[in-house]
Amino acid sequence: MIYAGIDIGSSTAKAALIKKNRLLGTHVIPTGYNPLNAGITVFEAVLEKVGVSKIDITAIVSTGYGRASVNFADTAMTEIICHGTGAHFMNPDIRGIIDVGGQDSKAILLDKNGQVENFAMNDKCAAGTGRFIEVMANALEVELDQMGDFSLKADKPSKISSICTVFAESEVISMIAGLQKRENIIAGIHESAAARVAILAFKINIKEPVMMTGGVAKNKGMITALEKRLGFELIVGDFAQENGAIGAAVLASRL
């Protein structure tokens, strides 16, 4: 019996398939305008990749911001439960999760059985989310996936004091005008975002080991900044970005 999880985030849509306790495969595409279309496309793509067809799928759980739009799913669950379940599935020792997504960042605390004990999410503003880094990348005219590498080359990270994305952007622009090194500005951006995310982790008294999930987990600059803030190392798995979808698939198997 094969189960599917579909995670429609604000910037990417992810799908995962599992069979028994084994991950069969995953797929990621940009979300675009229409979350339902994204859901259909990513689902079909993962089916093709793994080489199975729709009728082989016993149950589907959707998650993410667009979870309600995926009308072919059996049920929808929040990212919090899905990330918790996904992380526990990939590594049963995990007690804490930090997920930095496009719109939302969250810190999740798991109990020994992988059940969510507590969670915290960023408040309304975009500070400390993937969106924040994206806006800054635009302001600096740097490709988003280059941000991490630039950041690691910094010698003296700049200090960005504004929490608000709009103000921080103007701060960054005046730093560019002030001829500060791009590497340092970028490291400063990551430190600022990391500070916001770390606060969420402190709020729930996060316990180690902590897994980092979400698209931003690919950004080494952000990981480094976060580890510095938190004072411990983060575990980044191969499927950080697809973790929510994996969790959704696991939950589908329990329906």
Partner 1 sequence: MKEIKIFHDATKDVSAFADKIKAKQKKIVGTLCSYAPEELIYAAGFHPMRLFSSKSDIILAEQHLQTYCCSLVRGVLEDSLSGRLDFLDGTVFPHTCDSIQRLSDIWRMKGRYEFFADVVLPVKLNTQSAKIYMVDVLTKFKKDLEIAAGREITDTDLRESIKKFNLIRKNLSKIYALQSQKPGIIKGADLYTIVKGSMVMDRDEVADLLPAIAANIEKMDTPEQNGKRIVVSGSICDSPDIYTAIEAAGGVIVGDDLCTGQRWFEGQILEDEEPLTAIATRYMDRIICPAKHSSATARGENMISLAKKNKADGVVFMLLKFCDPHAFDYPYLKEFLEKENIKTLLIEMDDQQQNLGQLSTRFETFIHYI
Partner 2 sequence: MPDKLSDKRKIKCAKKMRDIMTTYYLDAMTAEQNNKQVAWITSGGPVEPLVAMDIIPVYPENHGAMIGASKMGEDLCTKAEDMGYSSDLCSYARTDISCSVVKGGPIGGLPKPDMLICCNNICGTVLKWYEVQARFYKVPLFILDTPICHTRYSPEIAKYVRAQIDEYIVFLEKITKRNFDYEKMAQVGKLAYKSQMLWQKVLNTTARNPSPMSAFDAFFFLALIVTLRGTQIAVDFYKDLLEEMEQRIKDGISMVPNEKYRLLWDNLPIWYRLKWLSNKFSDHNACLVADTYTSAWCSAIKYTDENNFLDSIAEAYTRIYLNIGVDQMADQVLEMIKFYDINGLVMHSNRSCKPYSFGQMDIMKIVREKTNIPVLMIEADMVDPRNFSQSQVETRIDAFMEIIKQRNS
> Measured in whole angstroms, how far is the alpha carbon of residue 252 from the centre of its chain?
20
Binding region for partner 1 (CB under 8 A) out of 17-25, 58-66, 146-154, 160-168: 160-168
Note whether 239 binds partner 2 by CB under 8 A: no
Cβ atoms < 10 Å from Cβ of 70: 27
204-217 as b/e, with b when 16 or more CB fall inside 10 Å?
Answer: bebeeebbbbbbbb
Among 40, 142, 195, 236, binds partner 1 (CB under 8 A): 195
Note whether 118 binds partner 2 by CB under 8 A: yes
In angstroms, the Cα distances linking 138 to 45, 49, 78, 162, 186 are 30, 33, 30, 18, 11
CA contacts within 13 A on the Cβ side of 36:
5
Binding region for partner 1 (CB under 8 A) out of 5-13, 49-57, 96-104, 158-166: 158-166
Among 33, 141, 161, 179, binds partner 1 (CB under 8 A): 161
Note whether 162 binds partner 1 by CB under 8 A: yes
CB 17 within 8 A of CB 248: no
Which CB sits closer to partner 1, 163 or 236?
163
Token look-up 């959707």 returns 62
Strands 116-121 and 105-110, by their bridges, are antiparallel
Note whether 80 binds partner 2 by CB under 8 A: yes
110-140 as b/e, with b when 16 or more CB fall inside 10 Å?
Answer: beeebebbebbbbeeebbbbbbbbbbbbebb
| Site residue total, partner 1 (CB under 8 A) | 13
End-to-end CA distance of the chain: 13
Q: Which two three-digit tokens encode residue 145?
A: 């996936």
CB of 76 to partner 1, least distance (A): 30
Which CB sits closer to partner 1, 51 or 178?
178
Q: Phi first, then psi: what are they for 117, rounded to 5°?
A: -95, -35
For residue 23, the partner it binds in partner 1, partner 2, none, with Cβ less than 5 to 8 A by kind, is none
Q: Which two three-digit tokens encode residue 48?
A: 């093709």
Q: Binding mask 95-124 vs partner 1 (x if CB under 8 A, - otherwise)?
A: ----------------------------x-
Q: Binding mask 23-62 vs partner 2 (x if CB under 8 A, - otherwise)?
A: ----------------------------------------
For residue 121, the partner it binds in partner 2, partner 1, none, with Cβ less than 5 to 8 A by kind, is partner 2
Where along the sequence are the contacts to partner 1 (CB under 8 A)? 123, 161-163, 167, 170-171, 174, 195, 198-199, 202-203
Where along the sequence are the contacts to partner 2 (CB under 8 A)? 65, 77-81, 104, 115-119, 121, 123-124
